[in-house]
Structure 1
Amino acid sequence: MEFLVTMTTQVPDDTPEPAVEGVRVLEAARARELAAAGHLLRLWRPPLQEDRWHTVGLFSAEDAWHLEKVLASMPLHIWRTDVVTPLWRHPNDPSAVR
């Protein structure tokens, strides 16, 4: 099953920049691992805002419970809120195998 996830990251103001950078490095590595495992299919970045980051991701997981485990495994999850939209194949999807 596929899920569209809007991730909003808001780092606490008192977080030292080296700590933020360290978590971002870990996040990039984890994203590569999730992509290799077939869980992270795409990522998009809407325009940045000064006090928070938005990312939209397309994820694949067996179900919502497994997706939550995937999202919780990402380092930025400590500062992030996620809005999950489950996606179902549309009958007119041009990539659908008939």
Structure 2
Amino acid sequence: MKEFLVELTTIVPEGTESVEVDRRRAAEAARAEELATAGHLVRLWRPVGELRSIGLWCAADEAELYEKVLGTLPLWPWMTAAVTPVQPHPNDPGRAGGAN
């Protein structure tokens, strides 16, 4: 699988009832857990004081990332995404086998 750095910004449509927002956020948390268990969501961060999230996601390719991973998030219709494909760095301390 390939890795992608994804910046997600969620804008709740004006006039959306808080009950609907709460329902989608709860469903979002459950779906994120499922995607993590399946190996699609590696890490997720929210910068302090900001409305965006930054995550490290895995998928076979960018099409799968959009269609079968991000597109399954309950908040997806309210999100914008900036996707950057990433590749392993030879000096990554988490890389199996270490640097050559």
The match for 2:60 is: 62
Provide the residue aligned with 2:32 in structure 1: 31
Distance 1:39 1:2 in 2: 9
In structure 2, how many angstroms separate the alpha carbons of the residues matched to 1:72 and 1:33?
A: 14
Task: State the superposition RMSD in angstroms.
Answer: 1.1
Give structure 1 regions of 4+ aligned residues with deviation exceeding 3 angstroms.
none
When normalised by structure 2's length, the TM-score is 0.89
Partner of 1:78: 77
1:10–1:80 CA contact under 8 A, matched in 2: yes
Identity over aligned residues, as a percent?
49
Gaps of 5+ in 1: none
Contact in 2 for aligned 1:48/1:54 (Cα 8 Å): no
Q: Secondary structure at the match of 1:75?
A: coil
Amino acid paired to 1:40: L
Deviation of 1:92 (Å): 1.7
Give the corresponding residue for 1:90: 89
Whole-angstrom CA distance in 2 between matches of 1:47 and 1:94 = 26
Give TM-score, length-normalised by structure 1. Answer: 0.91
Note the alpha carbon deviations across 1:37-77, whole angstroms, 9 max, x for none: 0000111011234xxx2111110111111111200000110
